[in-house]
Each structure stands twice: as structure tokens, then as C-alpha cells.
Amino acid sequence: MDYSSKYLYGIIPFSENNPVTIPAADSDGTEISAIPYRDIACVVSDYKGGFGTGDRKALVRSIQNHQAIMESLIKDREIIPIKFGTKLDGRTAIENMLESGYFEFHRILALIKGKIELDVTAFWNSLDAVLKEIAEWNEEICSIKSAITGKPYEDTISDRVKIGAIIKSALDKRRDGIQNKIFECMRREAVDAHAQDVTDDRVIFSGAFLIEREKEPKFDEILDGLNEDFRGAVNFRCVFPLPPYSFSTIDIKEVGYDEILKAKEMLSLGDEATAGDIRESYRNKTLGTHPDKDPGNPMLGVIFEELTNSYRLLNKFCNGERCSFRQNDFKRFFYIDTLGAK
């Protein structure tokens, strides 16, 4: 096994005058360390497998280790989470990655300073009791039941299907009302919020909230109030403090010189360019290729998307500075896609 490969956890602020304390090791005894670049650092460990091997137990153990380390790190600092399962081939690659994303990392660290994620899931205390209540008190259902009483089962199938549809509609309506109340009550005190899709009938609400650390007690009060309002019909599960997984998780992709060269040629740039040059070329190129110019021409959409992707790539490659597209000047470059961040 090549232990030069490093497994990545997240990006943290770093200062040589005030170095951060990080966990010495994970539950498997693997050493955890920080690789610094200027005033930020990437928290890493030696990579020892567990991904893509088909070994479910190893994967579960890796997930548990990852979560435990991240929860330890978030206790007294900001951390930008890196997508689970990310690894790079050694210290130099990580330093190149930190250089590639330096300004983006600074921007996000400023946004999440003093903040944590709080995840809330709400369940029916008894789904059967809710369904029974709907069936007993819905006037339309009661009318249908009365009409089919005493009839042979095979003659009432369509009516029974209709009853099922009415119950589902009533359950969805009740769930929507509770979802909206939970989300609105908590969003008022949150910095940002994401409601997540619910696919299990037993679950009423699932959402993530980015909150100020100092407001943790306030959210306890909100949940207590909601619990009273719903009179025990709803159970809440709240998990915090968490890193801002739902708001600023990083996806890292290495980009080779050929991709940079292709993007440069797409925008008709020279061997060097500034951020202004890239922006101006993009605007000029897209003036005649926007899909709205000719909705009947599908190629315009393809060209417009390629130009936009090239602009985004080169904008990050140049990092707001003058950059060279000469192959001799090219260093390893990593495209940082910050999922959920604004």
C-alpha cells in the first residue's frame, strides 16, 4: 500500500504563531495532521483504502472515522468540509490544491466564521394513529364507507382505492403544513437553510440550518416550542454541532494542461491573460451564441455552455491575477467546486 497518498478531511484557518490542535489519530490509529499553505491548512491522514473495494465493513468504518474527526475539528474552529472519499497523491499535490483554491477557501471561511450546521429531522410519533384519525374524521371517507357497507368486496375495489387516495392526499397536506411551520420557525433565526426531499411516509421534515454558534440555545427553545405545538404527535431528532456539509462542501478535481489549453482556445486568448481579459473575451464570444438569439438552433446552447464552462475554469485558474497558458509555466491545477456555498 502506498501511504504517500493522503486522505482529505477539510480546510481550516492556520497560523504558525497560533497553530491549531487537531486529533492525534483516528479510531484506527492513523495519524491526523495539517498541511499548511500561507494562512490556511488541509487536515489529512495517510490513505489506507476503504473506498471502491467492495468491502462494506471497511467503507462503514471509513465513514465513521471521517465523521468522528470532522466533529472533533468543528468543536473550536471553522472547517470547510471536503467531499467524503477525496484523496490526493502526496503533500505537494495538496499544496498545489491549496494554492489553486486559496481565494475561494478564504471567501468561504469568512462566510462560515462562527457558524455551525444543525440538522433536524421530524417523524410522526405514530403514523398508524395519524392514518386512523384521517380515516375516521374525513367526511368524504366516512360517506364512502357508509355506501359500501355490506357490499361484496369485489364490488367495492374502486371505492377502496379512492379511500386510499384520499388518505394519502390528506396525509400529504398535513405533512406540508407541519413542514412549512418547522422550516419557517427555524429559518427566521438561521443564516441559511436547506429543506431536503422526504421520501419516507414516516418522515415529516428533514432540513439543514446554518446557524451562529451562540444561537444554539435559541434553537433548543424553538424545538421545544414546536414540540408543544404539535402536542407530542411529532418526534424531533436534532444533530449539532456539525461542519457546514450542506452549505460549503468542497469537490476537488485535478485539471490537466490540455483542458486549460482547450478553454484558452475556446475564448481565443493569447499566451497570457488577466481576469479582465478572460471576462471581456467571454462577453464578446457569448453575444451571438446565447440560446435566446435563436431558440430553434440547438447548437447555440452547446456552444454557449462550452464557453461558460471555459470561462469558469479559466477564471479559477487565473485566481484574479495575470496568468500564463504556456506549458512550461503550468503547475498542477485543481478545480474547486464549492457545493452549496454562495
pLDDT digits (tens, 9 = 90+) for 290-319: 777 767 777 777 888 999 999 999 998 987
Indicate whether 272 pLDDT > 90.
yes
How many Å is the Cα radius of gyration of the chain?
27
Query: Rounded mean pLDDT of the chain?
Result: 87
Residue 250 has pLDDT above 90, yes or no: yes
In order of 3, 49, 215, the CA distances from 81 in angstroms are 22, 20, 22
In this predicted structure, the answer to whether residue 23 has a pLDDT above a threshold of 80 is no
Task: Give mean pLDDT, residues 183-211.
Answer: 92
Position 21 pLDDT exceeds 90: no
Strand partners, 193: 209
- Residue 257: the pLDDT is 95
Residue 38, CA distances (Å) to 13, 14, 170, 229, 280 in order: 9, 8, 57, 51, 31
CB of 116 within 8 A of CB of 211? yes
Task: Examine the pLDDT at 1 and tell me if it is beyond 50.
Answer: no
Query: Over pLDDT 70: what percentage of the chain?
Result: 92
Task: Output 233 or 291, whichever has higher pLDDT.
Answer: 233
Which of 21-30, 174-183, 195-204 has the lowest average pLDDT? 21-30
Q: How far apart are CA 20 and CA 76, in angstroms?
A: 9
202, 125 contact by CB (below 8 A)? no
Decide which of 200 and 193 is more confident. 193
pLDDT for residue 342: 47
Q: Which three-class secondary structure state does DSSP give residue 221?
A: helix
Q: Give the pLDDT confidence of 152-194 residue by residue, as tens digits.
A: 888 888 989 999 999 999 999 999 999 999 999 999 999 999 9
Say which residues have a Cβ less than 8 Å from residue 112's Cβ, sequence separation at least 6.
Answer: 78, 80, 210, 244, 247, 248
- Cα 125 from chain centre: 28
Q: Which amino acid is at 241?
A: P
- Side-chain-facing half-sphere of 60: CA atoms under 13 Å: 3
Return the pLDDT at 50: 59
Q: Give CA–CA dist 240/290, Å, rounded.
A: 44
Residue with C-alpha cell 484506527? 28
Phi, psi of 180 (to 5 degrees): -60, -40
Q: What are phi and psi of 205, to 5 degrees?
A: -150, 145
